[in-house]
C-alpha cells in the first residue's frame, strides 16, 4: 500500500496532485487544516494536510456500496469499507451514528458560544443549516458546517461593507485605552510607506494631551509624516484646508470615557466644522466585554461614526466581538489591530477575513476549566 501526504491550500489542488502521483484509484483517507502559528497567520490562506492511499496489492481499498447498502444512511454516495456487505446490521448502525450522533451543529454552537458570539447571532447563523454533509467521499462534516457558516457570514455582512466612496479625510475617535493613537500611526505609516500616498496627520489637543501628540510624532517619524496639533475647532478647519492637496488626512483625537456627555459634545464641535466628506472611525478594544462594547457604541453614535476598528486581537482568544460589533452597530469593522508593530500589525478587514478569523478561532478554542484556589 502506498500512502502519501500533501500540504495544499485547497482540496481541489490536493485531488489533482493525488491523481498525478497515485492515479485515479487512490482515495483520500484524511484531511485537516494545519494549525496556525499565530494571529498573523489568520491573514494568510489556511493550509490543509491531505493524506491519500493506494492499495497496489490488487484488491480495492474501498468498495462502492450496492443499492441495498445506500438505504442505510443519508451518506448514500459515500464509499464503504470493502466487505461491508457481510455485516449489514453493523454498518447500518454505524452510518446512523455518523448521521445523527456526531452533533456537528451542536459542536459549532458550543464553539461560537466560547467565542462569545451573541446568542441571537448564533441562532441566525445555525438556522436551517442541513444536518448532514453532502454526498461526497472527500467531505468532512465538521469542515462542511464551517464552510456553510463562513458562506452565511460573508453573505450576511457584505451589504454592510458596501461603501460607494472612500473620502480622504478620516476622523478617529474612541474610548480611553483602545489604542487609537497607535492605530492612527499604523494607518498613516501604511499609507505613506506601502501605498506611497502623501499623508497629513492632525492631532486634536484637548484636556492637555500633549504627551499623545509627542507619541504620535515619534511613531510617524520613520514614514516621514509630520504631525500638526490644533486646540480649537476653527484651527482644525484651517489645518484641513491647508492640507487639501494630500492624498489622506488623518485626525487623531483624545480618548473619551463614553458616559462623559460634555466632553463628547466638545469633540462633536471639532467634527461639525469639517464640511468635507469624511470617514469617522470608532476605535474599540477586543478586550471590552460585550455589554460594555454596546454601551460605548450607543454613546458614540451621536458622532455618526461610519466604521469600526477593533484593536488588541493579539491579547485575546475570543473574537466574537468582531461579529457582534458589526451586527449591533450596523457598520463594518474595516481594520483589526493585532500588536504594536508599525505598520504591520494593522490589517484591513472584509467580510471574508472577519469570518475566517472568527471561525478559525472557534475551531481552535477549548473550554477553559475553572477552580477556586483560595
**Cell numbers at 267, concatenated:** 469633540
**Cell numbers at 99, concatenated:** 448521521
The greatest distance separating any two alpha carbons of the chain, rounded to the nearest whole angstrom, comes to: 87
**Cell numbers at 54, concatenated:** 493506494
DSSP secondary structure letter of residue 127: T
pLDDT tens across 210-244, in order? Answer: 777 888 888 888 888 888 999 999 999 999 999 98
Assign 62 a pLDDT band (cuts: 50, 70, 90).
Answer: very low
pLDDT tens across 284-302, in order? Answer: 999 999 999 999 999 999 9
**From CA 201, how far away is CA 135, in angstroms rounded?**
56
| Architecture of the structural domain at 164-363 | 3-Layer(aba) Sandwich (3.40)
Backbone angles phi, psi at 295, to 5 degrees: -65, -40
| CA-wise closest residue to 348 among 298, 318, 307 | 307
Residue 98 pLDDT: 42
The residue whose grid cell reads 453573505 is: 155
Count of C-beta atoms within a 10 Å radius of residue 146: 20
- Which residue ranges make up each domain of the chain? 164-363
Exposed, middle or buried, 82 (CB in 10 Å: 0-12/13-18/19+)?
middle
The residue whose grid cell reads 456487505 is: 85
220 CB contacts (<8 Å, ≥6 apart)?
A: 185, 188, 189, 201, 226, 227
**Cell numbers at 296, concatenated:** 460605548
First to last CA, the chain: 57
Rounded mean pLDDT, 350-362:
92
Residue 70 pLDDT: 33
Rounded mean pLDDT, 150-162:
90
Residue 232 pLDDT: 94
Assign 198 a pLDDT band (cuts: 50, 70, 90).
Answer: very high
Residues of the chain with pLDDT > 70, as a percent, come to 76
Residue 285 pLDDT: 95
Evaluate whether 139 touches 126 at the Cβ level (below 8 Å). no
**From CA 310, how far away is CA 297, in angstroms rounded?**
12
Mean pLDDT of the chain: 79
| H helices present in the chain, as ranges | 11-22, 67-70, 88-100, 104-114, 119-126, 141-161, 180-189, 210-220, 233-242, 261-272, 290-300, 320-329, 351-364
SS3 call for 343: coil
Rounded mean pLDDT, 347-359:
93
pLDDT tens across 93-147, in order? Answer: 434 434 433 477 888 999 999 999 999 999 989 887 776 655 555 457 777 788 8
Per-residue b/e over 24-42, b at no fewer than 16 CB within 10 Å?
Answer: eebbbeebeeeebeebeeb
Considering only residues 115 and 166, tell me which one the structure prediction assigns the higher pLDDT. 115
Q: What predicted TM-score, i.e. pTM, was given to this entire model?
A: 0.71
Amino acid at each position: 500500500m502506498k500512502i502519501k501526504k500533501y500540504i495544499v491550500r485547497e482540496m481541489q489542488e490536493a485531488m489533482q496532485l493525488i491523481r498525478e502521483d497515485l492515479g485515479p484509484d487512490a482515495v483520500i483517507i484524511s484531511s485537516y487544516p494545519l494549525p496556525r502559528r499565530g494571529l498573523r497567520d489568520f491573514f494568510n490562506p489556511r493550509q490543509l494536510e491531505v493524506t491519500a492511499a493506494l492499495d497496489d496489492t490488487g484488491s480495492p481499498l474501498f468498495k462502492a456500496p450496492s443499492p441495498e447498502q445506500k438505504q442505510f444512511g443519508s451518506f448514500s454516495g459515500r464509499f464503504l469499507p470493502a466487505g461491508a456487505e457481510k455485516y449489514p446490521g453493523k454498518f447500518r448502525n454505524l452510518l446512523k451514528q455518523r448521521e445523527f450522533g456526531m452533533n456537528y451543529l451542536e459542536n459549532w454552537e458550543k464553539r461560537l458560544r466560547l467565542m462569545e458570539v451573541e446568542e441571537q447571532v448564533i441562532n441566525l447563523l445555525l438556522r436551517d443549516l442541513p444536518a448532514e454533509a453532502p454526498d461526497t467521499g472527500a467531505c468532512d462534516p465538521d469542515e462542511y458546517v464551517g464552510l456553510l457558516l463562513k458562506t452565511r457570514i460573508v453573505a450576511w455582512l457584505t451589504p454592510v461593507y458596501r461603501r460607494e466612496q472612500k473620502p480622504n479625510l478620516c476622523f478617529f475617535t474612541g474610548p480611553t485605552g483602545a489604542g487609537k493613537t497607535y492605530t492612527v500611526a499604523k494607518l498613516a505609516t501604511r499609507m505613506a510607506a506601502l501605498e506611497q500616498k502623501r499623508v497629513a496627520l492632525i492631532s486634536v489637543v484637548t484636556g492637555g494631551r500633549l504627551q499623545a501628540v509627542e507619541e504620535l510624532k515619534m511613531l510617524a517619524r520613520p514614514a516621514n509624516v509630520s504631525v500638526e496639533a490644533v486646540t480649537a475647532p476653527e484651527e482644525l478647519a484651517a489645518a484641513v484646508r491647508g492640507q487639501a492637496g494630500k492624498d489622506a488626512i488623518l485626525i487623531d483625537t483624545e480618548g473619551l470615557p463614553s458616559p462623559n456627555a460634555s466632553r463628547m459634545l466638545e469633540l462633536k464641535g471639532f467634527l461639525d466644522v469639517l464640511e468635507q466628506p469624511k470617514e469617522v472611525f470608532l476605535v474599540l478594544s477586543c478586550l471590552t466585554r460585550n455589554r460594555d462594547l454596546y454601551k460605548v457604541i450607543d454613546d458614540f453614535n451621536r458622532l455618526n461614526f461610519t466604521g469600526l476598528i477593533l484593536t488588541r486581537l493579539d491579547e485575546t482568544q475570543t473574537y466574537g466581538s468582531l461579529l457582534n460589533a458589526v451586527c449591533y452597530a450596523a457598520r463594518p469593522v474595516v481594520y483589526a489591530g493585532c500588536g504594536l508593530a508599525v505598520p504591520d500589525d494593522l490589517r484591513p478587514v472584509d467580510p471574508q477575513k472577519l469570518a475566517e478569523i472568527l471561525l478559525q478561532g472557534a475551531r481552535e478554542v477549548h473550554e477553559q476549566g475553572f477552580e477556586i484556589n483560595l
